[in-house]
Amino acid sequence: MSQPPTFVNSPLARIARLVLGRAPRVAMVLGHTVHLSGATREEFLADAEWVAHEEVHLRQVRDLGRLRFLYEYLLESARVGYYANKFEVEAREGARLVVAAAAP
Protein backbone atom coordinates (compact mmCIF):
# COMPACT_ATOMS: atom_id res chain seq x y z
CA MET A 1 0.00 0.00 0.00
CA SER A 2 1.29 3.45 -0.86
CA GLN A 3 1.97 6.10 1.72
CA PRO A 4 -0.07 9.18 0.90
CA PRO A 5 1.30 12.65 1.63
CA THR A 6 0.19 13.84 5.06
CA PHE A 7 -0.03 17.12 6.95
CA VAL A 8 0.12 16.41 10.69
CA ASN A 9 -1.53 18.79 13.19
CA SER A 10 -3.52 20.40 10.41
CA PRO A 11 -5.58 23.36 11.64
CA LEU A 12 -8.32 22.45 9.14
CA ALA A 13 -8.47 18.85 10.41
CA ARG A 14 -8.66 20.23 13.95
CA ILE A 15 -11.71 22.28 12.95
CA ALA A 16 -13.23 19.11 11.46
CA ARG A 17 -12.66 17.34 14.80
CA LEU A 18 -14.67 20.05 16.53
CA VAL A 19 -17.44 19.97 13.91
CA LEU A 20 -17.64 16.17 14.24
CA GLY A 21 -18.34 16.44 17.96
CA ARG A 22 -14.79 16.62 19.25
CA ALA A 23 -13.73 13.42 17.50
CA PRO A 24 -10.51 12.08 19.05
CA ARG A 25 -8.77 11.87 15.67
CA VAL A 26 -9.53 13.00 12.15
CA ALA A 27 -8.05 12.50 8.72
CA MET A 28 -9.41 14.49 5.82
CA VAL A 29 -8.30 14.86 2.23
CA LEU A 30 -7.68 18.35 0.93
CA GLY A 31 -6.32 18.35 -2.56
CA HIS A 32 -3.84 15.51 -2.78
CA THR A 33 -2.83 15.48 0.90
CA VAL A 34 -4.29 13.75 3.95
CA HIS A 35 -4.63 16.27 6.78
CA LEU A 36 -4.43 14.78 10.29
CA SER A 37 -5.46 15.98 13.72
CA GLY A 38 -5.25 13.91 16.88
CA ALA A 39 -2.99 11.31 15.28
CA THR A 40 0.61 11.10 14.18
CA ARG A 41 1.63 10.07 10.68
CA GLU A 42 2.85 6.78 12.13
CA GLU A 43 -0.49 6.08 13.84
CA PHE A 44 -2.32 6.86 10.62
CA LEU A 45 -0.07 4.67 8.47
CA ALA A 46 -0.30 1.79 10.97
CA ASP A 47 -4.07 1.59 10.44
CA ALA A 48 -4.53 -0.10 7.04
CA GLU A 49 -8.29 0.46 7.02
CA TRP A 50 -7.93 4.16 7.78
CA VAL A 51 -5.28 4.60 5.08
CA ALA A 52 -7.43 2.69 2.57
CA HIS A 53 -10.40 4.94 3.40
CA GLU A 54 -8.38 8.08 2.74
CA GLU A 55 -6.88 6.53 -0.42
CA VAL A 56 -10.42 6.25 -1.79
CA HIS A 57 -10.91 9.96 -1.12
CA LEU A 58 -7.60 10.73 -2.86
CA ARG A 59 -8.82 8.78 -5.90
CA GLN A 60 -12.14 10.64 -5.79
CA VAL A 61 -10.22 13.94 -5.89
CA ARG A 62 -8.10 12.72 -8.81
CA ASP A 63 -11.23 11.58 -10.69
CA LEU A 64 -13.33 14.70 -10.11
CA GLY A 65 -10.71 17.38 -9.61
CA ARG A 66 -10.14 19.30 -6.39
CA LEU A 67 -12.85 21.92 -6.67
CA ARG A 68 -15.56 19.65 -8.07
CA PHE A 69 -14.87 17.03 -5.40
CA LEU A 70 -15.01 19.63 -2.62
CA TYR A 71 -18.21 21.14 -4.00
CA GLU A 72 -19.95 17.79 -4.49
CA TYR A 73 -18.73 16.44 -1.13
CA LEU A 74 -20.02 19.47 0.77
CA LEU A 75 -23.30 19.51 -1.14
CA GLU A 76 -23.81 15.80 -0.47
CA SER A 77 -23.02 16.28 3.24
CA ALA A 78 -25.53 19.13 3.46
CA ARG A 79 -28.20 17.00 1.78
CA VAL A 80 -27.81 13.67 3.58
CA GLY A 81 -25.29 14.22 6.37
CA TYR A 82 -21.73 13.01 6.83
CA TYR A 83 -22.40 9.31 7.38
CA ALA A 84 -24.76 8.85 4.42
CA ASN A 85 -22.60 10.99 2.12
CA LYS A 86 -22.00 8.85 -1.01
CA PHE A 87 -18.28 9.70 -0.93
CA GLU A 88 -18.01 8.44 2.65
CA VAL A 89 -20.06 5.33 1.83
CA GLU A 90 -17.70 4.54 -1.06
CA ALA A 91 -14.62 5.16 1.11
CA ARG A 92 -15.90 2.89 3.90
CA GLU A 93 -16.67 0.14 1.39
CA GLY A 94 -13.29 0.51 -0.29
CA ALA A 95 -11.53 0.29 3.05
CA ARG A 96 -13.57 -2.76 4.02
CA LEU A 97 -12.57 -4.52 0.80
CA VAL A 98 -8.88 -3.77 1.34
CA VAL A 99 -9.01 -5.16 4.88
CA ALA A 100 -11.00 -8.22 3.77
CA ALA A 101 -8.48 -8.92 0.98
CA ALA A 102 -5.62 -8.76 3.47
CA ALA A 103 -7.26 -11.17 5.91
CA PRO A 104 -5.87 -14.72 5.92
1 in a structural domain: no
45 in a structural domain: yes
Res. 1: pLDDT tops 60:
no
Q: What mean pLDDT do residues 5-23 have?
A: 93
pTM, rounded to two decimals: 0.92
User: 44-59 pLDDT, tens per residue?
Assistant: 999 999 999 999 999 9
According to the model, what pLDDT value does residue 20 have?
86
Long-range CB contact pairs, 86-89, < 8 A, 24+: 87/57, 87/60
State how far the Cα of 13 lies from the Cα of 19, in Å rounded to an integer: 10
- Number of structural domains found in the chain: 1
| Strand ranges for 1-104 from DSSP E | 6-7, 26-30, 33-37
68 in a structural domain: yes
According to the model, what pLDDT value does residue 2 have?
66
According to the model, what pLDDT value does residue 22 have?
82
